């Protein structure tokens, strides 16, 4: 485009960013990992497999036969304790020593984020193998970086989505039930956050991402309770597809304008509380949605938010998502800790400021302790 044309183009035309919508290939099925060797071997012959210590032990008997059949020379490396800068340095070293030409990430969100970031930094192909339905990290072109102590630091936009995603339902079924419940919490947040962060946008891709987030929410409302009661049901597979795949599609299509808002900001704040470290990402985010709706209700007097919160409280009861700080096991944190979390979540660059009104740490702390409060007058709504 000529310089003149660039100047003449409108604001949106100059803000185009490359699209990273989906992995190049997705294999899925019952025990499909055992037959994935061929697809993996197309991407490299010396894979470095990145996961947590426990996951590596569990996955070796599944993955190794698939790799050796194709004569791939693999090495396993742990990202523990965190997807942190220091772990990345060690992993880069391991990749160089092994002369890796391919990275395979196995595990939950942090393991996959570490593997994706490593592949991005080393400019190598990346395969993701989620071992639970807890996040959509296997799909997305994004990694979250934490401190060694587990406090959220920043996220990194990666050059593309994974080259291959292997969703083995048999493997995911072995994960603790709590992980899928957390994944439901993280996935359902897409609607509550994207519908706010998209504002009044008329962008084709953004509108469609927000509508898919609504569909994702409805699928989860309908099928989650049945899914977690019966791991062999069609509903269970549909819900896993929703949390691992569809949630990723929404982030991919919506891109940078389909971002997180207060629910994830609250999550980020909570990661600074030591006692919160055993709480799963999606559990913190699920609680964060209630806080976000409570803020909309308290600051704007938004009745739709009030009834949406009541609807979610019922849903959380059904499937066991946390509704309060007590449910998160944080009943004994001090006021100073609560204030600190609220201060982190309301820092200038926080996504919480995508809310259409300004928020003080005090307002946020007040919302954080009143997520289950009954609202006097609730207008009927299907928000």
Interacting residues with Zn ion (CB under 5 A): 186
Residue 50 CB contacts under 8 Å (≥ 6 apart), including other chains: 77, 78, 79, 91, 103, 104, 105, 106, 111, 114, 115, 118
Report the nearest approach of Zn ion to the CB of residue 161 (Å).
16
Contact by Cβ (8 Å): 38, 65 = no
Q: Which is nearer to Zn ion, 49 or 181 (CB)?
A: 181
Report the nearest approach of Zn ion to the CB of residue 17 (Å).
20
At residue 47, φ and ψ (nearest 5 deg) are -75, 140
Report the nearest approach of Zn ion to the CB of residue 35 (Å).
30
**CA–CA gap between residue 151 and residue 267 (Å, rounded):** 10
Report the nearest approach of Zn ion to the CB of residue 270 (Å).
12
Burial profile 272-290: b = 16 or more Cβ within 10 angstroms, e = fewer: bbeebeebbbbbbbbbbbb
Position with the least CB separation from Zn ion: 186
Report the nearest approach of Zn ion to the CB of residue 29 (Å).
26
Q: Which is nearer to Zn ion, 193 or 296 (CB)?
A: 193
CA torsion sign for 128, 129, 131, 134 is positive
Q: Which is nearer to Zn ion, 92 or 259 (CB)?
A: 259
Contact by Cβ (8 Å): 26, 167 = yes
Q: Which is nearer to Zn ion, 113 or 186 (CB)?
A: 186
Token pair, residue 344, equals 């982190």
Distances (CA, A) of 266 to 69, 120, 287, 292: 46, 28, 8, 8
Report the nearest approach of Zn ion to the CB of residue 107 (Å).
16
Report the nearest approach of Zn ion to the CB of residue 226 (Å).
24
Report the nearest approach of Zn ion to the CB of residue 258 (Å).
13
Q: Which is nearer to Zn ion, 76 or 146 (CB)?
A: 146
- Positions of E strands within the chain: 26-29, 47-51, 75-78, 102-107, 126-130, 142-146, 152-157, 164-168
Neighbours of 204 (CB within 10 A): 9
81 prior amide bond cis, ω within 30: yes
At residue 50, φ and ψ (nearest 5 deg) are -110, 125
């Amino acid at each position: 485009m000529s310089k003149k044309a660039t100047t003449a183009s409108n604001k949106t035309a100059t803000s185009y960013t490359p699209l990273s919508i989906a992995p190049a290939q997705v294999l899925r099925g019952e025990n499909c990992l055992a037959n994935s060797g061929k697809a993996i071997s197309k991407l490299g012959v010396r894979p470095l497999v990145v996961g947590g210590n426990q996951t590596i032990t569990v996955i070796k008997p599944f993955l190794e036969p698939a790799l050796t059949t194709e004569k791939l020379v693999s090495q396993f490396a742990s990202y523990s304790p965190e997807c942190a800068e220091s772990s990345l340095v060690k992993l880069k070293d391991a990749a160089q020593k092994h002369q890796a030409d391919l990275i395979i990430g196995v595990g939950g969100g942090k393991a996959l984020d570490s593997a994706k970031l490593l592949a991005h930094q080393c400019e190598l192909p990346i395969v993701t193998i989620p071992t639970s339905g807890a996040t959509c990290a296997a799909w997305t072109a994004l990694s979250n970086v934490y401190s060694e102590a587990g406090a959220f630091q920043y996220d990194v936009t990666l050059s593309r989505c994974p080259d291959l995603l292997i969703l083995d339902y048999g493997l995911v079924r072995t994960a603790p039930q709590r992980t899928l419940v957390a994944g439901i919490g993280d996935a359902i947040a897409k609607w509550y956050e994207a519908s706010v962060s998209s504002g009044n946008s008329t962008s084709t891709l953004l509108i469609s991402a927000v509508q898919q987030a609504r569909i994702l929410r409805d699928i989860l409302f309908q099928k989650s309770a049945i899914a977690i009661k019966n791991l062999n049901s069609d509903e269970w597979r549909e819900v896993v597809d929703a949390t691992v795949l569809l949630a990723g599609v929404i982030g991919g299509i919506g891109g940078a304008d389909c971002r997180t808002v207060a629910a994830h900001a609250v999550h980020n704040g909570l990661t600074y509380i030591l006692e919160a470290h055993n709480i799963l990402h999606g559990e913190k985010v699920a609680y964060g949605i209630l806080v976000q709706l409570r803020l909309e209700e308290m600051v704007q007097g938004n009745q739709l938010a009030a009834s949406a919160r009541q609807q979610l409280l019922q849903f959380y009861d059904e499937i066991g998502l946390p509704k309060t700080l007590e449910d998160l096991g944080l009943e004994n944190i001090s006021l100073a800790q609560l204030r600190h979390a609220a201060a982190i979540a309301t820092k200038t660059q926080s996504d919480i400021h995508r809310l259409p009104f300004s928020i003080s740490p005090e307002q946020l702390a007040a919302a954080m302790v009143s997520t289950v409060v009954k609202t006097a007058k609730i207008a009927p709504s299907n928000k």
